[in-house]
Amino acid sequence: MKPFILLLFCTICLLPLQAQYNQQLKLAWSEEFNYEGLPNPAVWDYETGYIRNHEAQYYTRNKKNAYVSNGCLVITAHKEKVDTFSYTSASINTLGKMEFFRGRIEVCAKIPTGKGSWPAIWMMGTDRSTVGWPECGEIDIMENVGYDPLRIHATVHTPGSKRDPEAVIRSNSVKLNDAFSAFHVFAVEWYADRLDFFVDEKLILSYRKDDQLPEYWRFDKPHYLLLNLAVGGAWGGSQGIDNSIFPLKYYVDWVRYYN
């Protein structure tokens, strides 16, 4: 995509949704990506190497896998050999730099597509390193797998859902006809008693705290944000990887946090 076209897309993302914001919310922090180069190190860190889910990529800190240009963060997956891995990509996060507790977290992004693609916007408890997963809690604001390109998923993970995933409604999805050709706003509104998930202001899932099911709630503590583009894996690669899709680009226009 030529730079001037990308800039146009990023600008378009800002305008029509601005008027839809809940006027009761106050902007507390934002990352607009209005600079050039590596993601701001005061906000973003990286996962590196092999991390999880039998994924096929090696996560790097390299600029070719995550850079900021023309008003967008661009996470790019390449087909290239690193050690025993055949792909590289990036997963950036705010752990130890920026944390979130309740309020509204929203991300304007244009996702990639293709068999093997697995972009995500998600959160985990800042205590993950001490209590582990899923005890830390996980909030999946947006996931998409390339073999089902039009479907956007929102999901919650807790110790209870790992042991008995069918006990509560913890996931839902919606179809977007232009899921990978246009920018969309993916958001969660985090309250003391529920998590509400939105795609372009449309509520797609309300996950509620139930005092009778304490193992299904781990959201009374701060979380950090992750933006990543996985390749393959237990879910994203369950129908294989199409090597013709690379390089694969995931654009993020902005991240905003309201309280």
Task: Count each helix (H run) and each strand (E run) in the chain, helices first.
Answer: 3, 17
Q: Give the start-end residues of each E strand in 20-137.
A: 27-31, 45-47, 57-59, 66-69, 72-82, 85-89, 91-93, 103-110, 117-125
Residue 248 φ/ψ region, left for φ over 0, alpha for ψ in the -120 to 50 degree band, beta for the rest:
beta
Q: What tokens does 163 get?
A: 């042991």
Residues known to be catalytic: 138, 143
Residue 91 φ/ψ region, left for φ over 0, alpha for ψ in the -120 to 50 degree band, beta for the rest:
beta
CA distances (Å), origin 42, targets 5, 39, 98: 29, 9, 9
- Cβ neighbours of residue 41 closer than 8 Å, sequence gap 6 or more: none
